[in-house]
Amino acid sequence: MSREIALPISPTSAPRSPRRRPAQKHSVPRAPPTAAIAMAAAVTATTAIAAAVGGHPVQHTVFFKFPEIDAEGYAGLKSIVAEKFNALDGIWAQFYAYGEEIEGATGMADFLPVIEWPDKTNDFSHCLFVLARDAACLKGYLHSDEHKKDWFGGVGPYIKGIIVFDAELVQPIEQFNTATIQHSVLFKFPALVDQSAPELDDIVAKFNQLPGIVASFRPYGMRNTSKADTLAALEWPDKMDGYTHVLYVMCHDAAALKNYLHSDEHKVMWFPAVKPYIQVTPEQTARINASKRE
């Protein structure tokens, strides 16, 4: 994890001009640009994943900002995922708030002290993980009534931000059978669009030698397929907000995640290795310079 990331929709005041502005369509606000964002969520029923989606599925990861979701709305969304998404061919999906149901935690406030790690969500609160057998199954899910009608209608009243990322898993899905936590980190590496870096791949290989860890690092898209070609194949708009790469870390338990986060492989090797690739915005530079003057 590195430096972190939708601005709420706010009503616009009436224009002073006598001409009225056309009514705006309800839309999802864009997230302010940042270098990386991380989320951790529970994973259950992992032994059923391989049967549903096969060996190297595509992971469709969606981070949401739901700052004011109520219990009824949350239960309704979980029901759509459990009963409708998982009934689609070649699809396995789960939806959780950050940290919820991980070894007794009720949410992020309970879970972060367990792993002794700072909040790097930048107010993203919920994760939707969808594994698809292949691009055709993912496309079918994206364009299904269950997604476009039921899910869109369910999230509409609550959503204040969204980031969507698709990548084919490198490790065989069978290796995830004992995982209970998925730790996902999105990065902005503009110099590495559609490619990886050997030194980063080498460090991820070291992550996979840590106990209880299965890690996968990928640029956006299917294997050997560009971002543009993947989006065209899915017939879906770009909702990545500039993010180019994802690090998926599947963990046997909270102890394994904590060990990974505080390991030399992560803090001593990974942090310096990603630094040259991370996009730093002018706004971030200004904040850093201002903090140095204080």
pLDDT in tens, 267-287: 999 999 999 998 655 665 555
**What is the predicted pLDDT for the residue at 9?**
24
Question: How wide is the angle at C-alpha 73 spanned by C-alphas 33 and 53, nearest 5°?
Answer: 70
Torsion sign, CA atoms 31, 32, 34, 40: negative
Give the residue carrying structure tokens 């001009």: 17
pLDDT attached to residue 285: 53
| pLDDT score, position 216 | 92
- Among residues 141, 211, 214, the alpha carbon closest in space to that of 179 is found at 214
Phi, psi at 169, each rounded to 5°: -70, 140
CB 183, CB 249: distance < 8 Å: yes
Angle between helices 135-142 and 227-234 (to 10 degrees): 50
**pTM score:** 0.81
Q: Which residues pair with 246 in a beta bridge?
A: 186, 218
Rounded to whole angstroms, how far apart are CA atoms 145 and 62? Answer: 18
Shortest CA distance to 185 belongs to which of 208, 172, 167, 212? 167
pLDDT lower than 70: segments of the chain = 1-34, 45-55, 279-294
pLDDT at res. 178 = 81
pLDDT at 8: 25
Q: What does R_g of the chain's alpha carbons equal in angstroms?
A: 19
The tens digit of pLDDT for each residue in 106-141 reads 999 999 999 999 999 989 999 999 999 999 999 999
Predicted local confidence at residue 19, as pLDDT: 38
Strand partners, 183: 40, 249
